[in-house]
Amino acid sequence: MLDRTKAPDIQEIDAVSIQVAEVTHLSNGVKLHIIKSETQPVIRLDFVFKAGKVYENIKGASDLSAKMLFEGTKNYTAKEIAEKVAFYGASFDNTHGYDRSEFTLYCLSKYTTDLLPVVLDVLQNPVFPAEEFKILKKRNQQNLKIQRQKNNYLATHSFTKLIYGEDHPYVYGYEEGALDGLTLEDVKNFYFQNYSLSGLEIFACGAIDDNLENILIEEFSKIKTPAEKPTTSHYVEASNTNKEAFDKVEESLQSSIRTGMTFPHILHPDFHKLTVLNEILGGYFGSRLMRNIREDKGYTYGIYSTISPKEKDSMFYIGTDVNYEVTENTLSEIKKEIQLLQRELVPNDELKTVQSYMIGKFLNNIATIFEQADKYKRIILYGLPKDYYSNYINTIKTIDAEEIQQLAIKYLNIDDLKTAVAGRKA
C-alpha cells in the first residue's frame, strides 16, 4: 500500500528528448514537418510565412494583411469561413509576429480533409473586400486608442524604442494615429510581395495516419503563393543612444516600469546560462525581485524579468507596475538586486531551488505533443542545433555560482540599462 506520509523519491533528469518531425520536401519547394501522435484524435496545422513586421514598408501592413485573409476569398465569404470552421468544432486563426506570420488550424483529425479546402483558399485566394477592410481598419484604430490609454502599453512601446530606435520593426506597438494612413492597396501589396513558397514552413502534428499523410503531401504540393520570395527584411542593428523615456499620464495612480538592455542572440554560447541568471533575478515567483519589491517592500503585486529572443536579436527587461510615489525607489531596488548578484555568490540552496524549478517547468512544458511540436518548431525557425534542449537541461544542472556572478558582471552592466516609465512622477 502507498505510504502517503513519505514524499516520493526525487528523480534526476539526465536528458530530454523532443519528438523530431519527418520532413518532406514537396515538389513546390515547401517543407512539410510531420510529428505523429495517436494519444488524442486531434491535429494541428501551422503555416508559417516570412511575413512579419520586419518586411513591411508601411506600418500595420503586415498585421492587417494577415487579418484580411479571413475576410473573404474567391470561394468563401468571411461568414462562410467562420461558419464552416465552427461547424466542425475547429479553430483557425492567425498569430502575427515581428519576423513571421503564422496561421494555425486545430481540428479533429477526421475532419481535416473537410477543412483543408477552406484553409488553403484563405491562404491562396484572398479577395481583400474594401468594405471589410474599412471595418477592420477602424476596429484596429479603436483598439490602438484603447491600448495607448494603458500605462504598460506606453512603457513597453517607449522601452523598445529606447532599445532599437524610433522606426525599428522590433518596436512594440504603434504611435497614436500610426494606422490612419494605411490603405487597402498597402495591405494587398504586402500580401502579394511577401506570402511566398520560399518562406513557407508547414508543421503538422497529431493523429496523422498514412492515408492522411499522403493527402497532406498531395494537397500541400499544390499550394501556390503570389510571391517568389519575401521582400527584403528591414531589420537593422539596434541603435539608440537615449537611456530614459517618460510618458506622462495625468491622474494615474500607478507607473509602469520597463528597464533592460539588448542581450546575446539565442544561438550565443552564454544564452542558456543567462536564462538561469534571469530566473534567479526575476524569472519566477520566488525570485529576488519578487521577494524584495513585492514581499519585503510591498511596492507591487508582481515584478518579473524576462529574456525575449527573436530571430535577429534578444532583449532582456524587467517589468512592473507600482504606485507612482515609489517609482524611483523601485528602480533603486532593482539596481541593488543586480549589483548584489555581481558582488556576492548565489547561495547553494537558492541555486538548487532554481535549477529544480527550471527543469520541472521545462518537463511540464513538453507534456503534450503540441508543446513538443512548439519546441521543435523553434529549433527550425531559429536555426538551432538538434541537441539544443538537451544542452539547455545540461547547462541548468551544471552551472555554478561563480559562473552566475561572472555573467551578471559581464551582461548586467547598470550603466547600460535603459528605462521607460509611463504614469506620473512623485
The answer, yes or no, to whether residue 4 has pLDDT greater than 80, is no
Each residue's pLDDT tens digit, 318-339: 999 999 999 999 999 999 999 9
Q: Where exactly does CATH 3.30.830.10 map onto the chain?
A: 22-220, 244-423
Calculate the dihedral angle through the C-alpha atoms of 398, 402, 403, 404, rounding to the nearest 10 degrees: 100
Calculate the dihedral angle through the C-alpha atoms of 21, 24, 25, 29, rounding to the nearest 10 degrees: -80
Question: Considering Cα of 206, then 212, then 214, then 216, what sign does the dihedral take?
Answer: negative
CB burial of residue 79 (10 Å; 0-12, 13-18, 19+): exposed
- Cα 379 to Cα 362: distance, rounded to the nearest angstrom: 15
- Cα 96 to Cα 49: distance, rounded to the nearest angstrom: 10
From the CB of residue 322, how many other CB atoms can be counted at a distance below 10 Å?
A: 25
Query: Which pLDDT belongs to residue 9?
Result: 65
Contact 369, 39 (CB under 8 A): yes
- Cα 162 to Cα 244: distance, rounded to the nearest angstrom: 7
As a 3-state breakdown, the chain gives helix, strand, coil percent values, each rounded to 5, of 45, 20, 35
Q: What is the mean pLDDT of residues 144-149?
A: 95
Q: Which CATH number fits domain 244-423: 3.30.9.10, 3.40.1180.10, 3.40.50.300, 3.30.830.10?
A: 3.30.830.10
Residue 11 pLDDT level (bands cut at 50, 70, 90): low
Place of cell 488550424: 105
- Cα 106 to Cα 409: distance, rounded to the nearest angstrom: 45
E-strand ranges in 240-372 read 244-248, 254-263, 303-309, 314-323
Q: Is 394 helix (H, G, I), strand (E, B) or coil?
A: helix
Query: Which pLDDT belongs to residue 41?
Result: 95
Give the residue among 305, 309, 317, 308 at the shortest CA–CA distance from 267: 309
- Cα 208 to Cα 38: distance, rounded to the nearest angstrom: 8
Lookup: cell for 56: 513591411
Give the residue among 201, 235, 243 at the shortest CA–CA distance from 220: 201
Diameter of the chain by CA atoms? 71
Residue 2 pLDDT level (bands cut at 50, 70, 90): low
> Which DSSP category does 258 fall into?
E
| Helices 348-364 and 271-278, packing angle to 10 deg | 110
CA distances from 205 to 31, 107, 405 (A): 14, 11, 41
CA distances from 265 to 268, 290, 312, 319 (A): 5, 26, 7, 21
Give the residue among 304, 328, 356 at the shortest CA–CA distance from 152: 304
Residues 6+ apart with CB under 8 A from 361: 284
Residue 14 pLDDT level (bands cut at 50, 70, 90): low
Query: Which pLDDT belongs to residue 7?
Result: 65
Each residue's pLDDT tens digit, 195-218: 999 889 999 999 999 999 999 999
Residue 5 pLDDT level (bands cut at 50, 70, 90): confident
CA of residue 237 relative to chain centroid, distance = 20
Alpha helices in 221-347 (DSSP H): 271-278, 288-289, 327-343
Q: Is 204 helix (H, G, I), strand (E, B) or coil?
A: strand
Q: What is the mean pLDDT of residues 383-389?
A: 94
Please state which CATH class domain 22-220 belongs to. Answer: alpha beta
- Percent residues over pLDDT 90 in the chain: 88
Separation of first and last alpha carbons in the chain = 63
The answer, yes or no, to whether residue 15 has pLDDT greater than 80, is no
Range of weakest confidence among 4-8, 11-15, 33-37, 122-126: 11-15
Alpha helices in 251-296 (DSSP H): 271-278, 288-289
- Cα 238 to Cα 174: distance, rounded to the nearest angstrom: 18
Contact 48, 220 (CB under 8 A): no
Rg, C-alpha atoms of the chain:
24
Tell me what the pLDDT averaged over the chain comes to.
94
- Give the total residue count for the chain: 426
